[in-house]
Structure 1
Amino acid sequence: MATGARHVFFLLAPPVIGGYAIHRRINNLESRYPRLTVDDSTSSLEFRTASSPATQHSPHIDIYAARIPLKVLLARTDNPNDIKTADNTTLSTAWARSVFGSRLFRFEGSVIGFFTERRFNPGDIGDTPDAFNPIPVSLSPSIDSNPKSSEQPTEKKRPLLHGVFIVERPPSLDSPHGLLGSWKMADEPREFFEKIALWGYPWRLMSGGRHELSVSEPYEVPGLEGEGPFVDVRFASAHDYEIVPEEGGLEKQKTIPEWSARLHRGYAMLILDVAVRELMRK
């Protein structure tokens, strides 16, 4: 092999091999976690609605699920042997803690913590007694003339992973769809790609997005009665994009390229896979 060809080979081989390995890995995840139908049975309307519906749309919504024995999830609750107390709020909290406490999210949060606060730790991952509930801030004066209500408690949404992820709706009895949270893309890179997209560049960045972590009602599986009941644990992802009138209707609005969207879907499936594997090992 000529010297020049050898150099080209050694330059191209790593990205080609790496790309092929990622392709095979995503293929494997796709075969095990098919995308679910996006409707009221798998997600909430709040999750499916863009953060600013008047100016944004959500063209990419993906929901994945894995079936696990209920007892595996119960083991992460305060009453691991009492199925009767396992309401959806309890199970959704346990599942959300499993996802944010997984090695994948802990590493991601630790990297964020290193760059933002110069300490390699994941920050709040919902593992405190307050879990994902809002944070009480202070008692603020009220304009109400009633002396008994001179002060009213205030609270703020709970930030996770050093503030990158904001809990918009903690698991509660008010919703069967578990935890809902949001994240936001920095304005500078989004605005840069919006500008060059107006000049003809074929893609744009999202403005942010949401994740929803939910648990289905328990059910039995024919032939596996001795191992059940089972539940489906879900991980859902939605991306918001600004609506640019110059680009036309929603079907013509630019987004990230398909290969990049597939990587995002692959990462969502990987998050689900890692969390489930860690649950099953405990």
Structure 2
Amino acid sequence: MNAKKTNKNLSTFGVLRSLLKLVHGMECWMILAILAGTAGFVCAAGIGMMAVLAAFSHIPGSISISFGTACLCMGLFAVLRGVLRYGEQACNHYIAFRLLATIRDKVFGQLRRLGPARLDGRKKGDLIALITSDVELLEVFYAHTISPFCIAICCAVLFGAAGFWIHWSIGVLLLCSYALAAFGIPLIFGSAAQKTGIARRKAVGDLSATVLESVRGADEIIQYDLEGVRKARMNEKTEELLVLEDEQKKQTVAASSASLAIVTL
């Protein structure tokens, strides 16, 4: 009998496809989040535009909008920006928390079906981290990645078109800066961040496993006077995790600073 072979090591795009399939049935909420986010960024740009128009409103013949009208538009855009931002985040988090509950239920159900026989060789700390912290990380993907990615594309198209409408050189400059921020930063910092993230995930599982082993074997530890040994091991695992977290924070700050510099320029 020929067994059907499956590739368990999914590529990055394979994982993304699998995660995106779970959004099926909540596409309306995702579209609302994208529309609200795009409109919110347009309003944010409108605040600055109205401020410039207000500053030049006293120059005769320069623009056809009065200072009062420009200030009124600034206030309107500011209010709309807040409302639209709230609407975007509300839709995103509604999707994320619904999906996290579904994913936790599926993971726990799968673990129950595997039973002790299939899980005997696995570290208990890894299993606990899988159900709790690993699933919780998906909230970032569903609430802060999918719609912001789509919003960024929509805004890049809108602002790029506006730039070309003013002058072709402005449009080219905007599109080049968007491409640098979208592809340059991930290429520069992505590989190192991925390695650190994997190592940190392993360190979290090791620390959880060490704590669980110490709790479950408390009687034996006390009986054989191994408190100092277990304490030293937990301190060692904690220190490893803290070092990796510190490295991850440095990488995040570096990537954020580079992105902010590109946006500012």
Asked if TM exceeds 0.5, the reply is no
What TM-score, normalized by structure 2, do the two folds share?
A: 0.26
**TM-score, with length taken from structure 1:** 0.25
Bigger Rg, structure 1 or 2: 2
